[in-house]
Amino acid sequence: PRTFPLAHALHNLVMVPKLRRLLIGCDAVHFLGSGPELLGFAAAAAARLLGVPFLVEPALHPGQWGDSWIDVRLYRQADRVLAHTEAERQVLERLGIPAERVSVVLHGVDPQEGGDGQRFRERHAIPAAAPLILFLGRKTREKGVLRLLGAFRRIRDAVPEVRLVLAGPSAGAIPRSAEVGVLDLSDLSEAQKQDALAACALLCVPSEGESFGLVYHEAWFYGKAVVALDLPALRESVAANGGGLLVSEDPASLEEALLSLLRDPQRARAMGERGRGVALRHSWASAIESYRLAYRQTCGDHR
């Protein structure tokens, strides 16, 4: 906080004139991000000089990022803050953003269903009969990869044929030693990711912070059940629609949820199908219309 005024002034000195030239003729300025990168403050200043409204679309992971003092300072400069869930709206209001300046917009999801599960299994020598738990994301403590590994070691004793695929950037967060039944892959191409989603029995990303949960919707397009931590944003999608199971931070809770779905594939498939209905509601056409409405409201209020 003490160095912010200087950093803010220097950043604006360089960036605001450039942004002002780039943004001439626009009807609104929409910033995607939060406070620490400082670009949002420069964008807000440029919008004021141009006389157009300023919108911020953050990615709120309460307790991790998006809710610090510098983020709040940026949000308060916005004519409108865009949230992706009602839970996110409530967080913004608790941070002091007036309710009339917060809009909930839909997150568009690409409807992918073209993955080849058999191809993925053949490429990585995974037996066709082996149930596969998939983790997609950054392999960090916050994303829950260590929590999942711990649960898997105990699940493996009960279901010896089970496999766990960890796919995503490692960021030095997980042990590199070989684990029985664990396939540790780096970041996948889009086609490889779709193959992995088609191959898995269920998706488990027990992340400690989610503002929307795009990866769960991607799994639902393949009719796959999901397992995640009990977070406010996920109660609106996973719990409310029955597309999977939400668990507590207790390791036994995660282990129990995974085992219950592995032992009851029919139940897992039914959850995945309910989840597919949720994902289908997040079409790009619906998302675009929700953003367009937010823009219209913001520009109207600004005038």
Dihedral angle of Cα 230, 232, 238, 244, to the nearest 10 degrees:
0
The fraction of the chain above a pLDDT of 90, given in percent, is 67
pLDDT single digits (tens) 33-51: 999 999 999 999 999 999 9
Helical segments of the chain, H only = 4-22, 39-50, 69-75, 86-94, 117-123, 145-158, 190-199, 214-220, 232-234, 240-241, 251-263, 265-280, 284-302
Q: Which residues contact 293 (CB under 8 A, 6 or more apart)?
A: 103
Q: Return the pLDDT at 103.
A: 94
For the chain, report the end-to-end CA distance as a whole number of angstroms.
33
pLDDT single digits (tens) 199-248: 999 999 999 887 778 889 999 999 999 999 998 888 888 888 899 999 99
Give the residue-averaged pLDDT of 135-141.
88
Q: Return the pLDDT at 87.
A: 85
Dihedral angle of Cα 228, 231, 233, 239, to the nearest 10 degrees:
60
Q: How confident is the model at residue 177 (pLDDT cuts 50, 70, 90)?
A: low
